[in-house]
Amino acid sequence: MFKTLSAVFLFLAIPFAAHAQPSSVSFNAATKVFRLDGGGVSYVFGVNPRGELQQLYWGARLAATDSFPQAAPLPELASFDSSYNNTPQEYAGWGAGLFAEPALKLSFADGNRDLVLHYLRHTASTNGFDVVLKDIAREIYVTLHYAIDPNSGILARSATIQNREAQPVSVEQAAAAAWGLPPAHYTLSYLTGRWAGEWTLNQEAIHPGARVIESRRGSTGHQANPWFAITAGEPSEVSEEHGEVWFGALAWSGSWRITVEQDQLDEVRVTGGFNPFDFGYVLHPGESLEAPVFYGGYSSSGLGSASRLLHLFELEHILPRTAATATQTLPKPRPVIYNSWEATEFKVTEAGQIALAEKAAALGIDRFVMDDGWFGQRKDDHAGLGDWYVNPDKFPHGLKPLIDKVHSLGMDFGLWVEPEMVNPDSDLYRKHPDWVLNFPGRPRTEQRNQLVLNLARPDVHDYVLGFLDKLLNENDIAFLKWDYNRNWAEPGWDQLPATEQKRVYVNFTRNLYAILAELRHRHPKVEIESCSGGGGRVDLGILRYVDEVWPSDNTDPFDRLTQQDGFTYAYTPQIMMAWVTDSPHWLNKRSTSLSYRMLSSMQGSLGIGANIAAWSPEDAALAKRLIAAYHQVQPTIVQGSLYRLISPRNGSEFSATQTVNEEKTQSVVFAFIHSTQEGRLFPRLKLQGLDPTAEYALSPIEGKPHTGTPSVASGAWWMNHGLNLDDSFRGDFQAAAFRLDKK
Ligand code: DGJ
């Protein structure tokens, strides 16, 4: 139903036509070489004569008959770089003259900080290994976990660090894994942003030195996302369809860091895990620390193929299943939602929400979601967070009349919560001022007039789980939009001894996961969205417990095209919620047609967030028609193979995407014009991923093909000749969409 950490390392072999070769794992006792094969990928490492676990190969799948000699350490470089520093390791301890990023850095009670990890033993499973390393002298054990997905070849790697010394040790830096690539020219792709500007794709040559992408904020953050892709060659050679790609994503929703280094021998090392900034986790004798999981994959055919591998992997292995989808290969596509936030902000009332619900139902909406403002003394963002009782002025009879009405209209009901936060103006804070993150005697920095509850505390954990459980027990709620609207300041946990307080960086996030898991266990039909003022908490860690995410508070349909493009490099469109909101847009003051707004949102999981009470009958009719059209093709859009045909990035005049379902029986094409210049016609779209020998019928969802375009043609025609759009498809902020169905 929901994924536990151990489940992460048990990949089921879900049949998938693309990769016929079975997966295998092997250990050659003579050469001490470990090998994992899955999908189109081989991953190989071995124990060198010194006992270090050395990286040997990560790339296209090798023949089963291929073998590797025992790993040989790289030589010393003059007297400045030792062999230990030059040799690429799977999980290097900081010691023995290591200057590259360590995977693990410890401080022992006696002041010793030298750590050198050597192979001790291993156990094998169907799709992976647990390899135990031990310090050369001290009782520090590190178990490296490996599993390879038979379909995609994506590896899950993590580490468990155990202290069996008689004294405590402080873990100052702990990675999930380190990945290595041999010397060559490479380009790094990564995602950055800010509030209302998430998902910017950056691409730059990898140079000597380090590029650090990270969050020090206590949560994933809008400013960088824990995903990377490295392509062979220079930035000008990066391609959607060609070339080798190594990619990875870290499953952690707290402070994280990924360091991409090119070392003194031009090798590339990617190390990721807990952010070592302000980190310090004391392991008492016998205690262990579990690092997050770092997923890594490889494709030989471009960034497009890499993201398609990740999308399917997320659908098959990361996202939770509800009771209804427990036996299905993929989770179900998201309901089309209505959300009241942009229509009402905090001014929610029973009558106002019912009026919106009636309009929403008439459009064909599946789920009605009431956003912020329904609880405590929440009139604006100054008060109420923490007091999760229904506001009696706004809802005199509780939520039941609204929920019953929503059900009678044929929709299910969702509700906004922000469980980890508290306003100082709340009963909760007045009662428990000690529950927030703080350093005694220092200011408590407010952002959006709120403070962060210290979820690492067992009593806060119990309070949050308790009120959410009660809310779900007392009300027929199908969905929670779980918001998180600030980052940390003063991250103190003053109930613990000074040496223990930094545990907050681990325990907060673990408790968040535990609450989400327990809620899903107790309420198996409830679905959850991860929102953090937009896309501030999107990562493969939280995605084990939530069904969808809110990518950005920026709902401008033009900005969203670039955001959605960036988002899909790392994450499946299935989880990418996209609301149609009002025009002119509140953020950019840009005016766009409803048709353009609808098609922009239909690239992901569609929602409506406009003030539909004020819509004209014509607008309502258009939205109703397009929601019905969307419902027909939604699985293809959100779960099919995505081809980014023309990128909207860098002010592109045009953009286009295409998705194809797994059976290759249906495809959906979206085309957008930013602003036609010099009368230019939309480029001919050479489609991809179709069956060349099958016949496909073209039907417009919105817009027209060029006069004379065949209504039925082969996959070969659509892919080689391509689709021309009508000459009239010109102007500012224009959109068209088509579907192709196999005859
Ligand atoms: C931030 C979210 O991203 C918005 O969609 C909305 O839920 C507000 N919070 C409510 O305060």
- The span from the CA of 575 to the CA of 333, in Å, is 9
Residue 600 Cα to ligand 1 middle (Å): 20
pLDDT mean values, one per 10 residues, the chain (743 residues): 58 53 93 98 98 98 97 96 97 97 98 98 95 98 98 98 98 98 98 98 98 98 98 97 98 98 97 98 98 98 98 97 76 97 98 98 98 98 98 98 98 98 98 98 98 98 98 98 98 95 98 98 97 98 98 98 98 98 98 98 98 98 98 98 97 97 98 97 98 98 97 98 98 98 98
The runs of H, that is alpha helices, within 226-336 are 302-313
> Phi/psi class of residue 324: alpha, beta or left (left: φ > 0; alpha: ψ in -120 to 50)?
alpha
What's the pLDDT tens digit per position in 5-36? 566 677 765 544 444 578 899 999 999 999 99
- What is the pLDDT, as a whole number, of residue 4? 53
- Cα 123 to the chain's mean position, in Å? 30
- Which one of 135, 371, 372, 483 is the catalytic residue? 483
Decide whether any atom of ligand 1 lies within 6 Å of the 416 Cβ.
yes
677-705 b/e with 16+ CB inside 10 Å = b?
eeeeebeebebbbbbeeeebebeebbbeb
Is residue 266 part of the annotated active site? The answer reads no
d(CA 311, CA 603): 14
Distance from residue 578's CA to the centre of ligand 1 (Å): 14
Tokens of 209: 């030195």
What is the best residue among 371, 421, 448 to mutate for testing ligand 1's pocket, by most ligand atoms within 8 Å of CB? 371
Residue 634: closest CA among 668, 610, 608: 668
* C-beta 534 within 6 A of ligand 1: yes
**pTM given for the model:** 0.97
Å from CA of 482 to ligand 1 middle: 9
Q: Which atom of ligand 1 is nearest to the CA of 381?
A: 11
How much is the pLDDT for 14?
53
Cβ neighbour number for residue 597 with a 10 Å cutoff = 28
Atom of ligand 1 nearest to the CA of 339: 5
Looking at residue 697, its pLDDT comes to 98
Which atom, in ligand 1's list, is nearest to the CA of 532? 3
Ligand 1 pocket member 485 (CB < 6 A):
yes
Compute the distance from residue 488 Cα to the ligand 1 centre, in Å. 18
Q: 141: closest CA among 118, 124, 108?
A: 118
Is 580:601 a contact under the CB 8 Å cutoff?
yes
Answer whether 173 contacts ligand 1 (Cβ < 6 A): no
* pLDDT value of position 17: 45
Q: How far is the CA of 555 from the centre of ligand 1 (A)?
A: 12
Strands 128-135 and 140-148: antiparallel
Task: Give, for ligand 1, the residue of 219, 381, 483 to mutate: max count of ligand atoms closer than 8 Å to Cβ.
Answer: 483
pLDDT at 613: 97
Q: What pLDDT score was predicted for residue 11?
A: 72
Residue ID of nearest Cα to ligand 1 atom 11: 372
**Residue with token string 């379909």:** 151
The answer to whether the beta carbons of residues 57 and 242 sit under 8 Å apart is no
pLDDT tens, position by position, 617-635: 999 999 999 999 999 999 9
